[in-house]
Structure 1
Amino acid sequence: MNLTPLLHAHTVALIGISTPDRFGGQVYTNLHSFGYEGKIYGINPRYETLYAQPIYPTLGALPETPDLAILAVPNRALLPAFEEVAAQGIRAAVIFGSAHNETGDPRATEKAIAALARQHDIAICGPNCMGFLAFGQKLVVSGYPVVPGTPSGHITFISHSGSVFDSIWQNNRHLHFNYVISAGNEIATTAADYMHFALQDPTTRVIGIFLETVRDPAGFRAALADANARDVPVVVLKVGRSERGARLAQSHSGALAGNDAVYNALFDRYNVRRVRSLDEMMDTLELFATGWRPHPRAIAATLDSGGERGLLVDMADEIGVPFAQISPATQTRLAEILDPGLEPVNPLDAWGTGNEVDRIYRDSLLALDADPATGLSLFAVDLMRESNIPPTYVDIVCGDTHTIPTLSHFTKPFAFLVNVTSAASEEQMARLRAAGIPVLMGTETGLRAVRHLFDYCERANQQISNQQTNKPTNPPFPIPNSQFLIPNFSSPLDEHTSKQLLARYGLPHPPEKIAESLAEALTTAEQIGYPLALKTANGILHKTDAGGLHLNLRTPDALRTAYEDLATRLGPRVLVQKMAAPGVELILGLINDPQFGLLLSIGIGGILVEVLRDTRLILLPTTEDDIRRALRALRGAALLRGVRGHPPVDEDAIIRAA
């Protein structure tokens, strides 16, 4: 879909323009005060002039066809207004109203507008949205207060929440965006379309999304793949992780929130960074907006507090952010810099007597930055308001009339991390950001942002190295020579039938046979050999719960006793099966998601599979690398590597089976 008439409109028609105290007047005020350089046509039959401009009664009365129509009218007037938009050949529209009908079909207006949009190929932001901000074009389409003069930046943000749309860009971090879009109900134009458009803009370095649902699954996957191919990170806050959250998201957006585990699989496939809070989103966007790609995967941190150093170490260990193992040469250099008695280690508490603070911190920061093991440096101090006496930490980094700036000498990515955000000086943080230095707001969210950056870079590098060598796991399976008849696909297959089907596709299983009597069971046992497992074969899925199996049967007498027990309680039909050697039980399965299609399920199996819930989903088709990464991400992955004298599992065999 072509979004140029929407987000890069050169001419705008404002349907419902009004006085400044009304919504339509506020929309005009925002367009005008933000410096929009295109032509604005006001449409309202009640006025002849407003804002010293002629006002037109209809779109048909305009001297030209505008690129964009803004519908600032009540719900009852939406459909007639949009019909005129379509009739005049306008290619884009913003619909603020909900398009909700009070009587009859509540979605009748929405459906009619959507049909017209499809027929005439019209891009629509909305309905039920708060508009959009295209800062590079000074095109601010919103009826809510905006701050004139906000510069354009490198972040695109797409939101399914109006409040998040409004608050995310009006932040006191001085984060700057190129596009901020309130997507609304997405009846014609979806998040995928906005992503594709932003990815074609060279100013876009990162895309953030506040996501309630995906209305165009195929398009969304294609957009994520496009971002991945272009090395533009995508950061998503997906609501609906819990059952209740999913219900509330559906009631708000009018669309299914979807299976959260499936979304995790989707994000993993395309190297999307998933955050859990808006604060984590902001820190992550601020870090990604730099365009940095740090290597190696390790930080060096400098502090002025032993207690906060302990906190930083604990949190970094919990989150998975490693500290650089600095070299002996760096340790020697730090020992020369620091006051006597301070340890030359990473993370570094460099506060000693309080003398020569600027020299000590400047030289310490540069020594850690120069170490080959450092990928990114953090200056983890609180920037308190009462610490404005020169030289401040900001002076040390940025320089002032008395201090040589350190910033120009850094060779690695460098950021501040504030542990107590409520104590931080707005003035000092603004100076840092003006110098291009991110300020991460909180120990946990800041470290999570660093982890997201490291994870993104690591996956991106793996994808590049695997492009020529990674094989998809879709080898030709043996096709059964004759049709394998299954009487009823609508009910679960029993164990024996399932294994027969899998065997025809090359998946082996221990020898087994159905027996209808004790005599058949004993004969089968002699053929298969002991030890055996004996299981009921009367259609019970969870045999353990029903007491429907006996294991490690080593003699005919043991088999006879076990059979009589099962036959008496559960019926004479049994499955006689060779006992498998001890090992790690895994589960492999397929699910067919209504949004994203087939996914492979892989995880720790056995009788506790529902309790442990240690599984991962993988979008299909997949690759060997995807399956290997999923296995190693399981909480029980240590079992696969071998523990307490048990050998490691054959990982390649698991991948072949999957």
Structure 2
Amino acid sequence: MEKAEALKRLLRPASVAFIGGDSAAEAIRQCQAIGFDGEMWAVNQTRASLAGIPCVASLDALPAVPDASFIAAPPEASLALIAQLAATGAPGAVCFAAGFAETGATGAELQTRLCKAAGDMAVIGPNCHGFVNYLDGVALWPDQHGGRRVQRGAALVTQSGNIAINLTMQQRGLDIAYVLSGGNNSVLGLHDYIDALLSDQRVNAIGLHIEGIDDIAAFSTAAIRALKRRVPIVALKSGRSLQGAEIARSHTASLAGSDQLYDALFRRLGIARCNTLSEFLETLKLVTIAGLPQRDSIGSMSCSGGDAALVADVADRLGLPTPLLKEASKSRLQDLLGPNVHISNPLDYHLYVWADYDALRACFSEMLQQGFGCTLLVLDYPHSDASNIDNWLVAERALTDAMAETGEMAVIVASLPETMPEIVRDRLKSIGIAPMQGIDDCLFAIRAAASIANAQGQSEATPVLASKSREPASAAWLNEWQSKRILDEMGVDVPGGRLCKADSV
């Protein structure tokens, strides 16, 4: 079986074998809790059962070859189990054990043996937490998680098990389709995961938390495939600092690499790079719910001058245009809102029309017709169940109807993450509005999403990077001019210059 097909079977199995002790038992409980409806088998030489499932003593005693296996055994035993599974033609497994390349030379040798033992089998890990498939209800995962079953959503891939857990605990309203912790990524690389996730039409974005990329050419090929299929990729790359890069190396044996080169690579491939987990989650939420703005300009509407000023300041810092309103629109808005309202973008429409559906809809429609990439309605909600939010619902309905009337993109953003309660997030998502949390992160997400849209428009002209393997005979020395031109074409900032003869200077 091809490794790509094997990985698809692993991520969407009909049968799972859980091998080991307490960690395997916890993985069984998580798989049961999420509603897995396939076959589950337990393998342990000394226990009668794991999490209520009777144990068999060996892989040979299983009733059939499992589509997926969760292996929670010591390193050497894990190698033997992987080799045995590979010999049966098993598609794939999760190797939970640590103690491989992240520990040094001895562990690296052990990891080399693991790769050889796996053969064509898809192995996630080692030194990983495995994965949760929230679409089909599969959890090869030995720990708690905070996700829930969804119909479609973003797939999250990270090397860190703990970051993966934290991402599932988010209170941002992001629907997660898969979360996958790859650990050392010994047998499979990021490109393998991207390709497998692209094969699932229910995945509408891919989020990557990256410590390092081993095969740049293969990663490039997979990322360009995502670009052409209009599946946005959002990345959070660790290791910007020297200390962060060293931690990445000791954590999963990842070489963080030059941060400037990663910036250039991501720009080339249309990958939106984020700096924080909140930017990462908000960007994924925006692209999965609202889609991609076709321009990076924004309009903003709020009932407070304080909110309007905050939006203006953040937009200026991020380089997001806030275009002037058309003169005819300014006149209509002035008539609508009254002489005491200063008409501008961002717009503070004051409280004069608060809870007036007709006035709000007319105001919002006028703003949405300005041709902005995305328009924001700044709205912070009370938390108490005893609060009366009827007026907030009027604003929501006015915006929804204005969006339907104009066909333009708009979001509702709370100035603070805490002032967008879960019940509000779920309601807004159900009517197709992205519930954004925090002005800074919202505007960052709009800029990032617009950059993806721009790259998608040029995807046919984006060449795949050459493989790192090259015949020695094809190597050649480059002079400074040739070298800088290549770097410039790859998106690396280099000083401007011209090529001329020495006697022409």
Q: Same fold (TM over 0.5)?
A: yes
Conserved 8 A contact 1:394-1:431: no
Q: How many residues align?
A: 483
Give the equivalent residue in structure 2 for 1:91: 91
Give the equivalent residue in structure 1 for 2:471: none
Q: 1:454 to 1:85 in 2, by over 3 A?
A: same
SS at match of 1:171: coil
Give the equivalent residue in structure 2 for 1:381: 379
Conserved 8 A contact 1:91-1:122: yes
Q: Which has the higher helix share?
A: 2
Conserved 8 A contact 1:398-1:435: no
Task: Give TM-score scaled by structure 2 length.
Answer: 0.87
Conserved 8 A contact 1:588-1:601: no
1:24-70: CA deviations, max 9, x gaps? 22111111121112111111122344555432111111121111121
Task: Give TM-score scaled by structure 1 length.
Answer: 0.68
Give the equivalent residue in structure 2 for 1:533: none
Give the equivalent residue in structure 1 for 2:470: none
Give the equivalent residue in structure 2 for 1:600: 486
Aligned-pair CA distance for 1:379:
0.5
Matching of residue 40 in structure 1 with residue 40 in structure 2: yes
Instruction: Please provide the CA RMSD for this pair.
Output: 3.1
Q: Distance in 2 between matches of 1:104 and 1:303?
A: 59
Give the equivalent residue in structure 2 for 1:444: 440
Matching of residue 590 in structure 1 with residue 479 in structure 2: no
Give the equivalent residue in structure 1 for 2:17: 13
Q: Distance in 1 between matches of 2:290 and 2:436?
A: 16
Conserved 8 A contact 2:290-2:409: no
Conserved 8 A contact 1:213-1:253: no
Matched letter for residue 59 of structure 1: L
Give the equivalent residue in structure 2 for 1:110: 111
Q: 1:369 to 1:187 in 2, by over 3 A?
A: same
Conserved 8 A contact 1:33-1:148: no
Q: Distance in 2 between matches of 1:462 and 1:222?
A: 15
Give the equivalent residue in structure 2 for 1:54: 54
Matched letter for residue 75 of structure 2: N
The one of 409, 415, 421 equivalent to 1:413 is: 409
SS at match of 1:309: helix
SS at match of 1:392: helix
Give the equivalent residue in structure 2 for 1:367: 366
Q: 1:71 to 1:421 in 2, by over 3 A?
A: same
Aligned-pair CA distance for 1:429:
3.0
Q: Which structure has the larger Rg over C-alpha atoms?
A: 1
Matched letter for residue 94 of structure 2: V
Aligned-pair CA distance for 1:336:
2.5
Give the equivalent residue in structure 1 for 2:64: 64
Matches within 5 A, 1:626-641: none
Give the equivalent residue in structure 1 for 2:243: 244
Conserved 8 A contact 1:60-1:88: no
Q: 1:308 to 1:260 in 2, by over 3 A?
A: same
SS at match of 1:428: helix
1:593-647: CA deviations, max 9, x gaps? xxxxxx8345xxxxxxxxxxxxxxx43xxxxxx6xxx77xx8x9xxx8xxxxxxx
Matched letter for residue 98 of structure 1: A
Matched letter for residue 237 of structure 1: L
Matched letter for residue 213 of structure 1: G
Q: Distance in 1 between matches of 2:8 and 2:455?
A: 32
Give the equivalent residue in structure 1 for 2:395: 396
Conserved 8 A contact 2:195-2:222: yes
Give the equivalent residue in structure 2 for 1:334: 333
Give the equivalent residue in structure 2 for 1:429: 425
Conserved 8 A contact 2:354-2:360: no
SS at match of 2:202: coil
Conserved 8 A contact 1:9-1:68: yes
Matched letter for residue 55 of structure 1: C
Conserved 8 A contact 2:368-2:402: no
Conserved 8 A contact 1:350-1:360: no
Structure 2: runs of 5+ lacking an equivalent: 466-475, 501-505
Give the equivalent residue in structure 2 for 1:478: none
Give the equivalent residue in structure 1 for 2:284: 285
**Runs of 4+ in structure 1 over 6 Å off:** 101-104
Conserved 8 A contact 2:130-2:140: yes
Structure 1: runs of 5+ lacking an equivalent: 473-485, 490-500, 503-586, 592-598, 603-617, 620-625, 641-648, 654-658
Q: Distance in 2 between matches of 1:139 and 1:425?
A: 28
